[in-house]
């Protein structure tokens, strides 16, 4: 059996391979690639003899998967699998396991880092103080007492809701499945959008959530409201969000995800929008989270080899 780690997983190579050895022993051959490519033929060449491929958020299309003739399992070092040609995997009975849970703390941390940066004008404050300026025009807002909306109450959304409560926010949630979470008011999406001062998105990307936040939904939000997207880029209509920001229909936005993986084109509408903080899809990427992720990847491979696959995506 052969495992191909087809792209770097964010952990130093020596440490990563040692982790693999500790979990998997000598049960299979391991090949590691220390650079990332999106070239289809190169990816096929890398994976052509692999029984198992470990991949992070590198897109694997139908052609790549069909070109990897021996492929039996994809160990996806990511929560979502919308970058994988899942229909092809199903047709070929390829097991796809994900790494749900590894970035719960990391993503939640960044949600509030972004929000506080926006609320307290931290980026312009840093610039002003280096130019011998003052706080004039930079007085911000407190989180306490704000109405905080969470869209999607999976592990990350639920954690964000708990942190929001700790800040003294009044927390609202919208989710496909209503849960019993103490201190969280479950409402429909339109009510959440029209009520909350902060709206944080935590839904997967699928047919139901693509374009979920469009011009119509943005028009429901309050003029002082802030939108945070650390979920998936296509959940939000970027052009509609840029218009809402530039026309002052909402007060600000924090965006970690776009329609494509960074680098994002310089002419992307959000990059010239007012009152927006952008980060390059880094919410999941902390030293601790990437190690947690590698542990889950190799545990998933071990379970598959034992005939008891886990974290399987359908």
For the question of residue 120 being annotated catalytic, the response is no
Which residue in the list 159, 202, 281, 293 is annotated as catalytic? 281
Q: Is 297 exposed, middle or buried, given 0-12, 13-18 or 19+ CB atoms closer than 10 A?
A: buried
CB distance 106 to 156 below 8 Å: no
Given the residues 232, 266, 288, 293, select the one marked as catalytic: 232
Please give the Cα distance from 51 to 53 (Å, whole number).
Answer: 7
Mark whether 90 is an active-site residue: no
Report whether 313 contacts 96 (CB < 8 A): yes
Active site residue 261: yes
**261, 266, 268, 293: the active-site residue:** 261
Which structure tokens are listed for 172?
A: 């609202």
Residue of 89, 98, 94 whose CA lies nearest to 311:
98
Nearest 5 degrees, angle CA 292-CA 294-CA 298?
Answer: 120
Residue pointed to by tokens 């109405």: 147
> How many CB atoms within 10 Å of residue 174?
22
Q: Which residues are marked as active site?
A: 232, 261, 281
């Amino acid at each position: 059996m052969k495992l191909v780690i087809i792209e770097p997983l964010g952990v130093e190579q020596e440490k990563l391979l040692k982790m693999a050895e500790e979990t998997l022993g000598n049960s299979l051959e391991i090949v590691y690639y220390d650079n990332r490519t999106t070239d289809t033929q190169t990816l096929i060449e890398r994976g052509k003899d692999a029984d198992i491929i470990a991949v992070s958020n590198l897109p694997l299309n139908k052609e790549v998967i069909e070109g990897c003739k021996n492929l039996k399992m994809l160990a996806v070092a990511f929560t979502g699998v919308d970058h994988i040609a899942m229909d092809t995997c199903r047709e070929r009975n390829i097991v796809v396991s994900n790494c749900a849970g590894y970035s719960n703390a990391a993503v939640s941390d960044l949600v509030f880092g972004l929000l506080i940066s926006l609320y307290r004008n931290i980026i312009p404050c840093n610039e002003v103080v280096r130019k011998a300026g003052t706080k004039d025009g930079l007085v911000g807002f407190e989180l306490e007492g704000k109405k905080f909306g969470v869209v999607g109450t999976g592990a990350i959304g639920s954690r964000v809701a708990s942190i929001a409560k700790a800040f003294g926010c009044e927390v609202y949630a919208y989710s496909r499945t209503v849960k019993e979470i103490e201190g969280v008011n479950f409402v429909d999406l339109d009510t959440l959008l029209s009520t909350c001062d902060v709206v944080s998105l935590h839904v997967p990307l699928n047919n139901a959530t693509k374009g979920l936040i469009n011009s119509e939904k943005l028009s429901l939000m309050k003029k002082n409201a802030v939108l945070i997207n650390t979920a998936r880029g296509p959940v939000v209509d970027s052009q509609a969000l840029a218009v809402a920001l530039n026309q002052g229909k909402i007060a600000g936005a924090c965006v970690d995800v776009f329609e494509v993986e960074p680098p994002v084109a310089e002419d992307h509408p959000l990059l010239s929008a007012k009152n927006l903080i952008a980060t390059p899809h880094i919410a999941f990427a902390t030293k601790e989270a990437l190690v947690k992720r590698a542990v889950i990847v190799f545990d998933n491979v071990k379970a598959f080899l034992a005939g008891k696959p886990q974290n399987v995506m359908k």
